[in-house]
Structure 1
Amino acid sequence: MVRTKKIFREQLLEGAYQLVVDEGFKHFHARKVAKVISCSTQPIYREFDNLTTFKAATSEYIIQTVEQFLSDKERHDLSSFSEVLCQYADKHPDEFERFFLVDETCKPLMKELINVHFNHLVISLPAYQTISSEQLDQLFDLFWFYTLGKAAQRAHTVTEEEDLHSTLDELSKLYIQKIAV
């Protein structure tokens, strides 16, 4: 009898990560993850109790991946923090689009992660020492939407006018799909 190779937890999480980047959590199923890493579903259920715990572990893996990128970059004010997020969008445009803009499971996780980093940074800045928590929330909302727009533009840099038209067509199709759901 041929001995099969062991699939490790890290491989399962990497496969799940890739599936989420490609298709999102909406299409997250054990069979699809197994197909991505070319194995059966057996290693998944051997490693995780059920699909819910696998999804939770995948969410945590995604957060850790983005967290690692953020931790590796130096930021000393709000504009440099915004630039770090834009660098992430430059370097990982597919992940940025899925995690920050498209996927309904990932978007709140990313917003929470960025909010934690934002609060730590703002607390350390002398200019913001006296603002109220309500003002801090408003400042974060402003920062969040400004940075998302800037990063989305950088992630999808368009150089040709034809590319611009195809991008606008694609955006309008996505918008229509979103309304239809």
Structure 2
Amino acid sequence: MPAKKQITKEMILDAALKLLKEHGYDAVNIKQLAGALGCSTQPVYLSFSGMDELRDELIPLAVKEFKDYMRSNSGDKEINLYDINYINFAMDEPQLFCFLFMRENAFAEIRQALIPVIEQSVRGLMETYNISYEDADILHDQLWMHAHGIAAMTATGFCDWDMEKVSMMLTDCKKAFTEKFEA
């Protein structure tokens, strides 16, 4: 008789991330995880106290996927939450984008997880425009809000703008928001 496959917490989280990316967060449940792992629901129940704990452990994995995507597509540039790569991520990984950036009450936890990226962007804006931290922080959030709107419309299938138009909109928005800082 073959040995029973040992299901680990890491295997469950990997399966959860895969389900999330393919089918969205609603598909990440005990029954679907057991099916994806080819086991009973018992290993999932033994590894996590419930779906809240699993979600809490899934968030850092999803953030890592996001950061890895952004790094791999940024080339030598810094990662910014307001550039074309953010929108490309929404197009390429719509379920993951919605989980990270469009869940109810997700803003505070995702912002916390992205503090290093945000701080890097804010410092870059401070240097580029010779502005205070406060002004750069507001500018960052304005630019992110604009890019997020386009990304959300893309991720949800609300619109299918071509990337040339999107790039133009991002450039025009940045120009409008930064005009007051240029001497």
Q: How much does 1:114 deviate?
A: 4.5
Q: Does 1:152 align with 2:152?
A: yes
The question of whether the paired residues in 2 share the 8 Å contact of 1:122 and 1:128 is answered with no
Number of residues of Structure 1 aligned to a counterpart in Structure 2: 155
Q: Does 1:66 align with 2:66?
A: yes
- What is the CA–CA distance in structure 1 between the aligned matches of 2:78 and 2:143, rounded to whole Å? 12
Q: How much does 1:139 deviate?
A: 1.8
Label 1:12 to 1:80 Cα distance change in 2 as closer, same or farther (>3 A).
closer
Q: Does 1:109 align with 2:109?
A: yes
- What is the CA–CA distance in structure 2 between the aligned matches of 1:40 and 1:153, rounded to whole Å? 38
Q: How much does 1:13 deviate?
A: 0.9
| Structure 1 vs Structure 2 CA RMSD | 3.2
**1:10 corresponds to which residue?**
10
Q: How much does 1:12 deviate?
A: 0.8
The question of whether the paired residues in 2 share the 8 Å contact of 1:100 and 1:110 is answered with yes
**Aligned residues: percent identity?**
19
The question of whether the paired residues in 2 share the 8 Å contact of 1:59 and 1:106 is answered with no
Q: How much does 1:16 deviate?
A: 1.7
- What is the CA–CA distance in structure 2 between the aligned matches of 1:62 and 1:97, rounded to whole Å? 11
* Greater displacement, 140-149 / 36-45: 36-45
- What is the CA–CA distance in structure 2 between the aligned matches of 1:30 and 1:78, rounded to whole Å? 35
**2:49 corresponds to which residue?**
50
Equivalent residue letter for 2:72:
D
Q: TM-score, normalised by structure 1?
A: 0.65
Equivalent residue letter for 1:24:
Y
Q: How much does 1:154 deviate?
A: 3.8
Q: How much does 1:64 deviate?
A: 1.4
Q: How much does 1:19 deviate?
A: 4.2
**2:38 corresponds to which residue?**
38
After superposition, the C-alpha distances for 1:64-86 in whole angstroms (9 at most, x for unaligned) are: 11121122232647889511101
- What is the CA–CA distance in structure 2 between the aligned matches of 1:69 and 1:139, rounded to whole Å? 24
Q: How much does 1:144 deviate?
A: 2.2
Equivalent residue letter for 2:97:
F
- What is the CA–CA distance in structure 1 between the aligned matches of 2:80 and 2:55, rounded to whole Å? 33
After superposition, the C-alpha distances for 1:121-148 in whole angstroms (9 at most, x for unaligned) are: 2313423453133x33422321221011
Equivalent residue letter for 2:30:
A
Q: How much does 1:36 deviate?
A: 3.7
- What is the CA–CA distance in structure 1 between the aligned matches of 2:29 and 2:95, rounded to whole Å? 20
Q: How much does 1:54 deviate?
A: 2.6
Label 1:137 to 1:79 Cα distance change in 2 as closer, same or farther (>3 A).
closer
Q: TM-score, normalised by structure 2?
A: 0.64
The question of whether the paired residues in 2 share the 8 Å contact of 1:115 and 1:140 is answered with no
- Runs of 5+ in structure 1 lacking a partner? 160-181
The question of whether the paired residues in 2 share the 8 Å contact of 1:76 and 1:121 is answered with no
- Runs of 5+ in structure 2 lacking a partner? 162-183
